[in-house]
């Protein structure tokens, strides 16, 4: 103790020096650990860069910047999607929920008005319909109460069916045999099978694909107009499949006025499910009794006697998801 008292300042200085050495050692150890971690991170980054450069395509080099090229192509894709959106404009539901909540009373009133309007438009366009046709809404035709949670989907389908019918009317088809849609309500389970397709709507990250099946009768030139109008529709109506058969069973005349005689009862597999056979478009007038037929005067020979066709279209309505 006497020695410490005599060398107190030395002892204090030695203790401080030892403390400083310990702190310096700890600081060096921490830096050593950080350096090792930084070295590991650098090695990983270098390995990743080496792997990317070995890929095809690679991120590029000082002459080719593939990353920037990818960003430009991504922007081009976004611009294309934005331009293509004009061909996939949504169809407004009837009634439109944007104007207020769809209630049972609102949908019932809109349904009656829309079905009546489609009947009148068919008359104006000289399109024959099945008697008291409900345009695939037979299960909901007389209802005033509807299955919970189904009103928005029914309103959307009512707007879509109206749009499809107006395309067919504008093409001047002869008759509409039926439209089939996807079941979206518990009430649809009690509806006639002829109103529904077996498929269901398909949804992905980009869009919803809603299938429809349409059966109608027309001549070939009218069918061309129908396909053209579907192709030019701004609502994303894509014809996925088409089945065309002669519409046998009635004496008809082609658009050029040449009579075409059918071949007995309608054997079309697409007419019978709807339980309806439309009347003949035109009947061949009977020859007057007692008057011989006038002799032919020659002239051009008839090359084409066009026959009425039964057409079934499978159509997908593409509805873009919000944000696309």
Which among 216, 230, 220, 194 is positioned nearest to 128, based on CA atoms? Answer: 216
Which among 183, 186, 187 is positioned nearest to 195, based on CA atoms? Answer: 183
For residue 91, pLDDT over 60 is answered with yes
Question: What share of residues in the chain are helix, strand, coil (percent, to 5)?
Answer: 45, 15, 40
For the segment 229-236, the average pLDDT, to the nearest whole number, is 91
Band (pLDDT 50/70/90 cuts) for residue 164 is very high
Exposure of 290 in the CB half-sphere (CA atoms within 13 A) = 0
What are the structural domains of the chain? 86-279+305-320 (3.30.70.60)
pTM for this prediction: 0.63
Instruction: Specify which residues 239 forms β-bridges with.
Output: 315
Tokens of 203: 């949804």
For residue range 3-31, list pLDDT tens digits in order: 666 777 777 787 788 888 888 888 888 88
Q: How many helices (H) and strands (E) does the chain have?
A: 6, 7
Exposure of 194 in the CB half-sphere (CA atoms within 13 A) = 16
More confident residue, 96 or 7: 96
3-state secondary structure (DSSP) of residue 47? helix
Which among 221, 136, 234, 236 is positioned nearest to 176, based on CA atoms? Answer: 136
Tokens of 13: 């200085």
3-state secondary structure (DSSP) of residue 104? helix
SS3 track for 262-309? CCCCCCCCCCHHHCCCCCCCCCCCCCCCCCCCCCCCCCCCCCCCCCCE
For the segment 168-184, the average pLDDT, to the nearest whole number, is 95
Tokens of 279: 């009347």
For residue range 201-227, list pLDDT tens digits in order: 998 888 889 999 999 999 999 999 999
């Amino acid at each position: 103790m006497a020695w410490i008292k005599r060398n107190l300042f030395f002892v204090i200085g030695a203790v401080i020096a030892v403390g400083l050495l310990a702190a310096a050692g700890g600081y060096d150890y921490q830096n050593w650990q950080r350096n090792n971690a930084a070295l590991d991170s650098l090695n990983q980054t270098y390995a990743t860069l080496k792997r990317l450069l070995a890929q095809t395509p690679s991120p590029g080099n000082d002459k080719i910047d593939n990353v920037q090229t990818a960003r430009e192509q991504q922007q081009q894709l976004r611009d294309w999607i934005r331009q293509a959106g004009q061909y996939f404009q949504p169809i407004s539901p009837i009634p439109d929920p944007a104007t207020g909540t769809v209630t049972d009373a609102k949908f019932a009133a809109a349904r009656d008005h829309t079905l009546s309007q489609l009947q009148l438009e068919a008359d104006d366009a000289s399109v024959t319909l099945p008697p008291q046709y409900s345009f695939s809404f037979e299960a909901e035709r007389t209802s005033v109460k509807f299955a919970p949670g189904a009103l928005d989907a029914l309103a959307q389908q009512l707007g879509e069916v109206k749009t499809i019918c107006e395309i067919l009317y504008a093409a001047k088809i002869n008759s509409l045999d039926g439209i089939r849609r996807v079941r979206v309500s518990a009430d649809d389970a009690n509806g006639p099978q002829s109103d529904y397709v077996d498929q269901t709507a398909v949804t992905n990250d980009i869009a919803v694909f809603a299938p429809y099946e349409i059966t109608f009768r027309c001549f070939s030139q009218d069918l061309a107009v129908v396909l053209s109008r579907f192709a030019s529709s701004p609502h994303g109506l894509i014809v996925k499949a088409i089945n065309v058969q002669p519409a046998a069973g009635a004496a008809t005349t082609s658009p050029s006025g040449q009579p075409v005689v059918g071949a007995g009862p309608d054997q079309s597999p697409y007419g019978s499910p709807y339980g309806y056979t439309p009347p003949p478009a035109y009947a061949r007038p009977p020859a007057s009794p007692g008057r011989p037929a006038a002799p032919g005067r020659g002239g051009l020979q008839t090359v084409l006697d066009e026959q009425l066709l039964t057409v079934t279209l499978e159509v997908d309505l593409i509805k873009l998801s919000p944000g696309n």
